[in-house]
């Protein structure tokens, strides 16, 4: 890749325009600065280098001025989610380096989770409750570019209410395997469907069960899977997801489909947390942002998996299938739309339009104060809605 000799695959760093950047260990140091306050000022990401050549003080002043004005990666710091950006502080020894940061957060975010082998693929699956739970089994599917971590509070409280819950990280996301495209998994809709079928068999999920789906891309694949397996589902709950042809595809997925630019975009280590915050009225707390960031920071795999999935997706075709498949003449099982009203990607009008297609079986439950991921923004309200519905 054209950037491979210049950019680290997992770090997004701004460079001074006056220096060549060879990333030699004796010249450069990268470190991680913790966010000190909830409303921290926007920071600048810099790489500084030493030069063996002498220059006049005027040249140095000009060089510093150029460095401050030229920041090709300024987008990294233009969002609240970059509060923990990787950068070079004034005193590097005071902060931990990237390796130390990964060591500190590598065990975060695995509540209720374990690894499950299904065929050649290894899934990370969260489980709460017991298979003997009196109220049945719920499978919760996340969307892109996030992970099942978003359901941790919801599934914990549902287990307390008597349900047995599974929440897997889709292949290519979170802590599940991220195969290189072309080597056993190509990130197509059919492959996601087949992989989910195999996982449910390994987990021993008995039909019919309750299904909860949220989000874009793989979230939509959860809905098309439901259309192909309606006999396995008792009731379906949909949290904020694209459901109509009028649903706008976020800029992230459009950028990923642009040649070369997509390759660069997918290696933004804070891509997931930025996406969450852009669709929500809230800023993620640092301990939560760490978990959403970790897979993209630790490896280039999640970024390239997301890139491949976005490029293989037929967004409009999938939306058309969803609109037609859940219409009243084709779908006769109860559907709950638990909808965050502050979603900046998908307004309430999307849910209302979808409901018109099947007035008899679709119920709309607004979630006040929640954004695109109501299970993260306000899990208690989501739990209340699901308990009443299931």
Tens-place pLDDT, residues 237-293: 999 999 999 999 999 999 999 999 999 999 998 999 999 999 999 999 989 999 999
Cα distances (angstroms) measured from residue 350 to each of 83, 87, 184, 251, 343: 32, 40, 36, 18, 11
Which token pair is 229?
A: 């397996």
DSSP state of 42: P
d(CA 61, CA 240): 51
Looking at domain 109-389, its CATH class is alpha beta
d(CA 22, CA 28): 9
Which token pair is 22?
A: 């060879």
pTM of the model: 0.77
* Percentage of residues of the chain with pLDDT beyond 90: 68
Per the model's pLDDT, the better-predicted residue between 99 and 106 turns out to be 106
Mean pLDDT of 358-365: 97
- Classify 64 as helix, strand or coil: helix
CB–CB of 310/127 below 8 Å?
no
CB–CB of 37/84 below 8 Å?
no
**Cβ atoms < 10 Å from Cβ of 255:** 16
d(CA 324, CA 319): 9
Mean pLDDT of 92-119: 72
DSSP 143-174: -BT--GGGGHHHHHHHHHTT-EEEEEPPTTST
Buried b (16+ CB within 10 A) or exposed e, 111-142: ebbeebebeebebbbbbbbeeebeebbbbbbb
Going by pLDDT thresholds of 50, 70 and 90, the confidence category of residue 8 is very low
Cα distances (angstroms) measured from residue 293 to each of 184, 204, 265: 26, 31, 14
**Cβ-Cβ contacts under 8 Å for 176 (sequence gap 6 or more):** 121, 122, 123, 124, 168, 169, 170
């Amino acid at each position: 890749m054209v950037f491979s000799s210049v950019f680290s695959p997992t770090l997004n760093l701004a460079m001074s325009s006056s220096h060549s950047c060879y990333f030699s260990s004796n010249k450069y140091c990268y470190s991680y600065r913790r966010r000190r306050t909830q409303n921290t000022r926007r920071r600048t990401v810099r790489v500084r280098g030493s030069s063996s050549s002498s220059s006049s003080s005027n040249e140095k002043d000009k060089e510093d001025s150029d460095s401050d004005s030229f920041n090709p990666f300024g987008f990294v710091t233009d969002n609240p989610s970059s509060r923990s950006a990787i950068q070079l502080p004034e005193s590097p020894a005071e902060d931990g380096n990237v390796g130390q940061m990964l060591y500190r957060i590598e065990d975060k975010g695995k509540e209720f989770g374990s690894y499950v082998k299904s065929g050649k693929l290894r899934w990370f699956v969260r489980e709460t409750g017991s298979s003997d739970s009196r109220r049945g089994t719920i499978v919760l599917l996340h969307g892109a570019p996030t992970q099942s971590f978003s359901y941790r509070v919801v599934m914990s409280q549902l287990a307390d209410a008597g349900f047995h819950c599974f929440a897997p990280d889709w292949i290519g996301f979170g802590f599940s395997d991220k195969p290189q495209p072309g080597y056993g998994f190509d990130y197509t809709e059919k492959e996601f469907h087949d992989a989910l079928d195999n996982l449910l068999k390994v987990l021993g999920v008995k039909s019919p069960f309750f299904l909860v789906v949220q989000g874009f891309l793989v979230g939509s694949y959860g809905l098309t899977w439901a259309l192909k397996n309606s006999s396995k589902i008792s009731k379906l709950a949909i949290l904020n997801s694209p459901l109509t042809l009028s649903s706008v595809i976020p800029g992230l997925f459009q950028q990923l489909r642009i040649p070369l630019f997509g390759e660069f975009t997918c290696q933004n280590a804070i891509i997931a947390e930025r996406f969450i915050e852009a669709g929500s009225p809230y800023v993620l707390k640092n301990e939560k942002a760490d978990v959403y960031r970790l897979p993209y920071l630790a490896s280039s795999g999640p970024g390239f998996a997301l890139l491949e999935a976005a490029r293989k997706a037929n967004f409009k075709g999938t939306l058309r299938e969803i609109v037609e498949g859940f219409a009243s003449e084709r779908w006769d099982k109860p559907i709950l739309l638990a909808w965050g009203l502050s979603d900046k990607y998908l307004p309430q009008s999307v849910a209302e339009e979808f409901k018109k297609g099947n007035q008899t079986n679709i119920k709309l439950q607004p979630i006040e104060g929640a954004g695109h991921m109501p299970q993260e923004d306000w899990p208690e309200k989501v739990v209340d809605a699901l308990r009443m519905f299931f």
